Amino acid sequence: MTTIAIPGGANPEIREAITKAKQKFGSKIDFTIYDVEDNGAGDYHFVACSPETVISTAVKSVATGEAQILMKGIVQTHDLLKEVLKKEYDLRQQKLLSHVAMIHLPQMDRPILLTDSGMNIAPDVEQLVQIADNAITTAQKIGIEEPKVALLSSAEIFNPKMPSSVLAKEVTEQMQDRRATVYGPLSLDLALSKEAVAHKHFTGPIAGDADVLVVPTIDTGNVLYKSLLLFGQAVMGGTIVGTKVPIVLTSRSDSAESKLLSLEFAMKQLGGEEHE
Ligand code: COD
């Protein structure tokens, strides 16, 4: 049995996601909502908290092992992440925590991972290496054994005046020994579109077949994420990784389908550690 702790979960959108998740996973999962008051009903446990302790009580429940996944309800992302980062919980597994989104697009025959469009604001080279490493680990946990990791920039030709190009080149140089192909700078079309690759006669270790997109800043990632959601018919979900437990980040505007995908993504990351 996997228990999912949800701070700020007492609202209709989260209750709908819980109902759908219960239909999908049955008795394999169990939910505990942490909130000030519960004004609905559903198949979950409820823990009443003061407004100041909603987040901390839920985070404590994953730190003590009572719950195995933390899922954001209607609380501020920044406040939740600041709580998770507190040393007293000992939740960090890697030096740097990062956000990985899983994207399903009707145009693609495979899921694409996108990082970091949710946590690290403007990573330096060392941080981007860790972000890419976290994504490789996540990809491998969900069954992509040797992921192709594209470091995005505006163009594939190195430009020393373009910060994302410089970042991508340095990260590529530092990550040649991984069980993955890490390559950049690369533009989005060359990372994902075989037609663009053919049209531009591009040859390289990643040519339209990327599994993971690494963006240079949170702003690039957030704009890409929301464009795909608004205009690309994408269904996507995301988690914070590098922690001892997956942390599902959903936003209020996510569809119930996206919330469910986020949860499935987190469950897959638990893999063999899934609690019976
Ligand atoms: N991994 C591990 N440790 C970290 C990380 C990280 N990703 N980020 C910060 N820390 C550590 C620092 O080393 C330090 O010890 C402590 O945490 C505080 O660090 P600060 O002062 O740099 O950072 P904070 O506390 O002001 O903010 C950290 C956040 C992750 C909350 C911040 O980066 C943030 O707000 N990110 C954007 C989140 C967001 O709004 N996402 C939604 C929109 S897409």
Q: How far is the CA of 121 from the centre of ligand 1 (A)?
A: 8
21: burial class by Cβ within 10 Å (0-12, 13-18, 19+)? buried
Same domain, yes or no: 187 and 63: no
Q: Please tell me whether residues 207 and 104 are part of one structural domain.
A: yes
Residue 120 C-alpha to ligand 1 middle, in angstroms?
7
Q: How far is the CA of 181 from the centre of ligand 1 (A)?
A: 28
* Per-residue model confidence (pLDDT) at position 13: 84
Q: How confident is the model at residue 143, as a pLDDT?
A: 93
pLDDT at residue number 249 = 92
The answer on 188 and 103 residing in a single domain is yes
pLDDT at 41: 84
Does the Cβ of 119 fall within 6 Å of ligand 1?
yes
Q: Rounded to an integer, what distance in angstroms lies between the CA atom of residue 230 and that of residue 244?
A: 32
| C-alpha 222 – ligand 1 centre gap (Å) | 16
Task: Give yes or no: residues 134 and 195 share one domain.
Answer: yes
Mutate to test the pocket of ligand 1, among 90, 119, 249, 251 (most ligand atoms within 8 A of CB): 119
118 within ligand 1 shell (Cβ under 6 A): yes
Where residue 186 falls (left for φ over 0; alpha for ψ -120 to 50; beta otherwise) is: beta
Burial of 107 (0-12, 13-18, 19+ CB in 10 A): exposed
Whole-number Å distance, alpha carbon 98 to ligand 1 midpoint, is: 9
- Say if strands 29-35 and 45-48 run parallel, antiparallel, or are unpaired: parallel
Q: Are 126 and 85 in contact (CB under 8 A)?
A: no
Rounded distance between C-alpha atoms, residue 244 and residue 153, angstroms = 31
Q: What is the pTM of this model?
A: 0.93
**Whether 175 and 105 share a structural domain:** yes
pLDDT at 276: 40
Residue 125 in contact with ligand 1 by CB distance below 6 A? no
Tell me if 175 is assigned to some domain: yes
pLDDT value for 12: 87
Q: 103 and 89 share a domain?
A: no
- State whether 37 and 74 are in the same domain: yes
16 is a domain residue: yes
How does pLDDT run across 108-144, given as a tens digit for each residue?
999 999 999 999 999 999 999 999 999 999 999 999 9
Task: Indicate which CATH number applies to the domain containing 184.
Answer: 3.40.718.10
Nearest CA among 196, 131, 200 for reference residue 168: 131
275 lies in a domain?
no
Identify whether residues 136 and 219 lie together within a single domain: yes
Position 163 scores a pLDDT of: 98
Q: Any idea what the CATH number is for the domain that residue 69 is in?
A: 3.40.50.10950
Residue 185, preceding bond cis, omega within 30 degrees?
yes
Low pLDDT (below 50) residues in the chain: 273-276
Count structural domains, the chain.
2
Q: What is the pLDDT of residue 251?
A: 78
**Closest atom of ligand 1 to CA, residue 95:** 2
What is the residue range of 124's domain? 98-232
